[in-house]
Structure 1
Amino acid sequence: MISPDLPITNFTEDKLNRGAFAKSLAKTISQYSFPSSFTIGLYGEWGSGKTSLVNMMLEAVEDIDNNAIILRFNPWLCADPKQLITQFFKQMATAIKLKKPKADKAWELIDQYADVFDAASICSIIF
């Protein structure tokens, strides 16, 4: 049988029983209440299921907290390093706008902040 080499997108496709770990990770992330940020690293060889695990974990986060705003930002898709910050804030504003349209001040300010970075990168090219 031939199957595509694509990550799974939800728990119903989990044939390797990684769902429990994804749910545990989601619970840990959802319960994090410290004011500082944190980083989680998933290490594994190409094709070992890292993206599948992230997909299941994000599904579990949404199940735990329907109000969570999830931003899947892929920095390697930004060809120009100067656009990295701008794209991050633009995508963040869009994610907030889609999930919480009534939070218009928040996403508008973030979008304007991104425009400032964009203008600053253009000015640095001119000078």
Structure 2
Amino acid sequence: MVTKNALSRAGFEGPVLKAEDDRYGYTAIGEGLAHNISALDENVSTVIGIEGKWGAGKTSLLNLLTDHLKVQVPATTKIVVFSPLVNSPDESPVNRPSS
């Protein structure tokens, strides 16, 4: 008997949380971005944004990118994920506790 996880059911609209649930190829994009980000000059400040229409997969890409970055960057590197829909305008994303 084949069992399906919550992500494989019709109509699921949540973001992809792990590579095995990716049905649209964001894992490869996240891996490539992570490689390029980890190769950036650490002496130069860099800001990277992900833009797209509602439902285009921005959060899915961000989740997969973050997973790839965690294994590619030094343990002392802090990854700060900022979502304007989640953070209040008065809250600094740098001061938020890590999840």
Same fold (TM over 0.5): yes
Partner of 1:103: none
Partner of 1:24: 32
Deviations 1:82-102 (A, max 9, x none): x33xx33421xx34xx8xxxx
Partner of 1:73: 82
| Structure 1 unmatched runs, 5+ | 99-127
TM-score normalized by structure 1?
Answer: 0.58
Root-mean-square deviation (CA, aligned residues, Å) is 2.3
Q: Distance in 1 between matches of 2:84 and 2:53?
A: 20
Partner of 1:3: 11
Q: Distance in 2 between matches of 1:75 and 1:44?
A: 14
Q: Which has the higher contact order (CA 8 A, sep 6+)?
A: 2
TM-score normalized by structure 2?
Answer: 0.72
The answer to which structure has the higher helix fraction is: 1
Does 1:47 find its partner at 2:51? no
Sequence identity percentage: 26
Secondary structure at the counterpart of residue 81 of structure 2: coil
Computing the radius of gyration over CA atoms, which structure comes out larger, 1 or 2? 1
Matched residue pairs, number?
A: 89
